[in-house]
Amino acid sequence: MKTLYHYTTIETLLLILNYKTLRFKSLLYVDDPLEPSTSDFGNLGGFKYVSCWTDTPNSIPQWTMYSDNMTGVCIGISFDKETDVFLTEKFSLSESSEPIDMVNALHPLKSGLLVTNNKYVPSLEQIRYTDDVSLITPRVVSSDDKSTTINLASNGIYKTTDWSFQNEQRFSFQIFPLPIDLVLELMNANKGDLTEIINSFISVKPKEYFDLDLNPTIFSNMTITFGKRCSAEDKLKVSKFLEDNKFHIPLFDSTVNIKP
């Protein structure tokens, strides 16, 4: 069983618990400005959405940066597979295909979204750290006399070594920049030629975030650790919320060695 951690504020913790959702941000809105960038097609990486975690439970830099200077919390979750974390349903894409797991927000018939690589459940990725510019801001478009192709999955895999302290693992999914109905309309109009579709990507602005439903069972495999500077009032607020909503999540105080 894998255990990952997410440093955040008291306010965000209570939103996660109240709505039983996890927010995925476009790479255009994460703290590393290079993440959505490509060398040849603008900020195409903005159509990748991520929820950022780490395998480090007592990281002083992350306590400071993401939990409002240690006044927030570190959420821990333990799981075997992604479907332990996210609420899914089975769906067949055709009469002849086997049912696959899908999260509700990415269900093609409900959302109108087209995901890449047929990944309808966020996948877990280990971030790799490098200073190779060609990996950090990849080239994504290739063309010849017959066709133009674009790699929609190049971003959000590498970060510069400045960020290596994060030991980041992230849940992610990537969507096609255009909705399904418009893609089909353009393909019919252009007899299957994707060139016009690809060229239209540059003018589309990614949605800032998606909220995905959590599997209710993940709350039985969750811990909450209060930051070193978390107030007694906020600790009581969280404790009371858990009690009122019948959550049985263990609470801990951070053991990081720093003055409160």
Average pLDDT, the chain: 91
Cβ 233 vs Cβ 241: under 8 Å: no
CB-based contact 121:90 (threshold 8 Å): no
Give the pLDDT of residue 116.
81
Task: Answer with the residue of higher pLDDT: 159 or 151.
Answer: 159
Average pLDDT over residues 195-214: 84
d(CA 24, CA 208) in angstroms, rounded, equals: 9
Q: Which tops the pLDDT comparison, 98 or 189?
A: 98
Cα→Cα distances 120→93, 157, 159, 173, 246, Å: 11, 19, 25, 8, 30
pLDDT at 32 over 70: yes
**Over 80: is that where the pLDDT of 163 sits?**
yes
Reported as a pLDDT band with limits 50, 70 and 90, residue 142 is confident
Q: Is the confidence at residue 242, as pLDDT, over 80?
A: yes
Q: Note the pLDDT of residue 193.
A: 60
Please tell me the predicted confidence (pLDDT) of residue 108.
Answer: 82
Over pLDDT 70: what percentage of the chain?
94
β-strands 48-54, 168-174 pairing: antiparallel
Is pLDDT of 102 > 60?
yes
pLDDT interval class at 9 (50, 70, 90):
very high
Q: 10, 18 in Cβ contact below 8 A?
A: no
User: What span, in angstroms and rounded, lies between the C-alpha atoms of 79 and 15?
Assistant: 21
Helix (H) and strand (E) counts in the chain: 8, 15
- Whole-number pLDDT of residue 145: 72
Tell me the pLDDT band of 192, cut-offs 50, 70 and 90: low
Q: By mean pLDDT, which of 111-115, 172-176, 199-203, 247-251 is the weakest?
A: 199-203
For the record, the structure tokens of 101 come out as 């797991």
Separation CA 164–CA 12 (nearest Å): 24
CB 69, CB 228: distance < 8 Å: no
* 184 within 8 A of 114, measured Cβ to Cβ: no
